[in-house]
Amino acid sequence: MANSLRWVLGILTGLLSLLVILVGGELLVRFAAPQPYLYPRWQYSGDYGHVLYSGTTMVHAMPRHFEYRYGINSLGYRGRRVPISNHYVRQNIVILGDSYSFGTGVQDGEEFSVVMERALGTDFETINLAVGGWGLPQQIRRFYEFGILYQPRVVILQFCANGLTDGLRHRVARIENDRFVFQSTKSDRGWLRDQLSKSVLQRSQLYNLLRQFLYDRFDGGLVLDARVGRRPPAGVMEAATAPTAMESAYLELLSAFALDLRQRGIPLLVISVNGQLEGYPALVAGVARLNEAGTLHYVDVRPWFDGVTAYESPEGHSWGIKAHAILGAQLAEQVRALQSQRGPD
């Protein structure tokens, strides 16, 4: 009996000690090195890598620093729900991109898609299909499987350097015999990712510190290289602007997508996060060729920010509320110009 009691007390003492360590660690991280969290994060998807949870509000916060809320409608994208129809009274604009177009770091109603819609007036609606962490393969697949149902008058595609690695990580779209082929990238760890993404662990400071450490250790290097636009040593690639594997894959998909949209009579407006496309000379050359041929319309947004300071978001994205306001107003003018060139149906 005494041995059993000591055994039980030992277990309880161990559990209590573990609880004290976890609570202490949580408080220590919260006050000494607060971590950003996203809850719920993303829903695992074999078709896209990850998607947004439909009909939910994502909370993106860092204790004592910032808190944003992202409303996801019942159709699985941010913003007001636009019902699918076989006829639309308003002209629809579909937006494809990653966290920059999604509007990470701004509150609902402040993202450039909403600002642009307000500037264009009641004749237009925007459908923002951007998702953080998506590359061009996911964006293209999302368009053909969903966005095309909106019969868009214009498609806006946003480039970010991260998209090069994101696209290779989940190659859910490829070209085969001059056609798009969509494929799954299912993972045996998908069930675990799905459970973790909606777990309250996502709010834990200790968990997010460990998660970020593992991300930096095993995956962050590739993303960081892409984010800052790092290239091979001078004279190796830049001289001939020879495309890397990532650039070739991106240009192949972009060319096919832009050509198909042109054949459908849908203008493709391409923008880049400030200066990030210019970090890849082969991409610049490829986009320039498509632009000169009229296959797409590329707009350099950097002049829009001349003389503007402090337009970043406190959470780290270089497009904060001020930047989204500028982008929305300027993109509205670009859409008007494209519609003017196109003329009435």
pLDDT tens-digit readout, 312-343? 999 999 999 999 999 999 999 999 999 887 66
Residue with tokens 């997010």: 208
Q: What are phi and psi of 300, to 5 degrees?
A: -80, 115
Instruction: Give the whole-angstrom CA distance, residue 249 versus residue 229.
Output: 17
Q: Which amino acid is at 7?
A: W
Residue at 22 is within a domain: no
pLDDT of residue 206: 86
Q: Do residues 94 and 152 make contact, with C-beta atoms less than 8 angstroms apart?
A: yes
Residue at 334 is within a domain: yes
Instruction: Give the whole-angstrom CA distance, residue 324 versus residue 302.
Output: 13
21-42 burial code (b ≥16 CB/10 A, e <16): eeeeeeeebbeeebbebbbbbb
Backbone φ/ψ region at 104: left (φ over 0), alpha (ψ -120 to 50), beta: beta
Instruction: Give the whole-angstrom CA distance, residue 329 versus residue 141.
Output: 28
Helix, strand, or coil (residue 186)? coil
pLDDT of residue 197: 80
Contacts of 187 (CB under 8 A, 6+ apart): 44, 46, 193
Residue at 21 is within a domain: no
Residue at 26 is within a domain: no
Per DSSP, the residues of 112-169 read: HHHHHHHHH-TTEEEEE---TT--HHHHHHHHHHTGGGG--SEEEEEE-THHHHHHHH
pLDDT of residue 232: 37
What CATH number is given to the structural domain containing 303? 3.40.50.1110
Q: What are phi and psi of 159, to 5 degrees?
A: -100, 140
Q: Which amino acid is at 247?
A: E
Q: Do residues 150 and 116 make contact, with C-beta atoms less than 8 angstroms apart?
A: no
pLDDT of residue 340: 81
Instruction: Give the whole-angstrom CA distance, residue 156 versus residue 113.
Output: 10
Residue at 12 is within a domain: no
Q: Check whether the bond before 232 is cis (ω within 30° of 0).
A: no
Instruction: Give the whole-angstrom CA distance, residue 25 versus residue 248.
Output: 46
Helix, strand, or coil (residue 345)? coil
Residue at 290 is within a domain: yes
pLDDT of residue 75: 98
Question: What's the count of helices (H) and strands (E) in the chain, helices before strands?
Answer: 11, 12
Strands 37-39 and 56-62, sheet pairing = antiparallel
Nearest one of 125, 99, 98 to 113, comparing CA atoms:
125
Residue at 3 is within a domain: no
- Tens-binned pLDDT, residue by residue, of the chain (345 aa): 666 777 777 787 777 777 777 777 778 878 888 999 999 999 999 899 999 999 999 999 999 999 999 999 999 999 999 999 999 999 999 999 999 999 999 999 999 999 999 999 999 999 999 999 999 999 999 999 999 999 999 999 999 998 888 777 788 999 998 899 999 887 666 667 777 788 888 888 888 888 888 877 765 444 333 333 333 333 333 444 578 888 999 999 999 999 999 999 999 999 999 989 999 999 999 999 999 999 999 999 999 999 999 999 999 999 999 999 999 999 999 999 998 876 655
Instruction: Give the whole-angstrom CA distance, residue 44 versus residue 51.
Output: 6
- Domain count of the fold of the chain: 1
The two tokens of residue 280 are: 């890849």
Backbone φ/ψ region at 273: left (φ over 0), alpha (ψ -120 to 50), beta: beta
Residue at 25 is within a domain: no
With 0.85 as the threshold, say if the pTM is over it.
yes
* Structural domain of 49: 34-342
